[in-house]
Structure 1
Amino acid sequence: MDREQVAGWIAAYEQAWRTPGSAALASIFTADASYRQGPYREPVVGLPAIARMWESEREGPDEVFEMTVEVIAVDGDTGVARVHVRYGDPAAQEWQDLWIMRFTEDGRCRSFEEWPFAPEQRTTDAG
């Protein structure tokens, strides 16, 4: 994978989110893919389970949102991106995410992990 391929995959992910149904998931995820919605959350595994999660998490393909992406790093089959998403107009919800994606040779994602942060979340000092 390279930065352009990772950015292309993320664009396909966004397009799938904006498309009715979940059939497009098969073009971006492997059949046995894992999708972790947070670093401490159990992964959702397999296309049928990902499709159920996908449909339960979004308002529908007409959901209003703006998404900006910066691919941070690519190393072999792994890509990392910073993704900023604002939902609504005016924005009622906002997220700054890190996405860690592992890909197969055909460009589909076999492992997806997001680290979502909302503006109201606070970090604490570790010391």
Structure 2
Amino acid sequence: MQGYLEAWASSDADQIGALFTEDAEYFTDPFGEPWRGRAGIVAGWLEHADAPDSFTFEWSPLAITPEMSIIEGITRYTAGTVYSNLWVIRFAPNGQAREFIEWWMDQGKPSGSS
């Protein structure tokens, strides 16, 4: 998580790439097409990068094994939007992510609201 948070805050391509296997998949939503491969993940990440110091992130693990982690988080943007996050991360034996799936929900727009 520390490496992910550092990469998120810096938007440094090398830090981002170091998190993922060469053939990893990153789903920015669980039902969409993923960013594929390390280069594709870095490109997608940088295309959607957050500005430095524009957010805070609090997290707690729901489950951690050598093969997978499930993380619950809260992202607070300085502009005021707050998101609830759920991440499922599957790891290769070397500790890099081989699959990353995220769910994010805008707390200002709860399900069922118009």
The count of residues paired between Structure 1 and Structure 2 equals 112
Structure 1 vs Structure 2: percent identity of aligned residues?
Answer: 25
Whether contact under 8 Å (2:56, 2:75) holds in the other structure is yes
In 2 relative to 1, CA 26–55 (structure 1 residues): closer, same or farther, beyond 3 Å? closer
Moved more, 14-23 or 107-116: 14-23
Distance 2:95 2:36 in 1: 18
Distance 2:61 2:11 in 1: 26
Distance 1:74 1:18 in 2: 23
Distance 2:65 2:76 in 1: 28
For 1:109, the equivalent position in structure 2 comes to 97
Whether contact under 8 Å (2:70, 2:86) holds in the other structure is yes
After TM superposition, the score normalised by the length of structure 1 is: 0.80
Whether contact under 8 Å (2:82, 2:108) holds in the other structure is no
2:80 to 92, 95, 99: 92
What residue ranges of structure 1 are gaps of 5+ in the alignment?
1-9
Aligned alpha-carbon RMSD (Å): 1.6
In 2 relative to 1, CA 66–105 (structure 1 residues): closer, same or farther, beyond 3 Å? same
Letter in 1 for 2:46: E
Shift of 1:120: 2.7
What residue ranges of structure 2 are gaps of 5+ in the alignment?
none
Q: Secondary structure at the match of 2:3?
A: helix
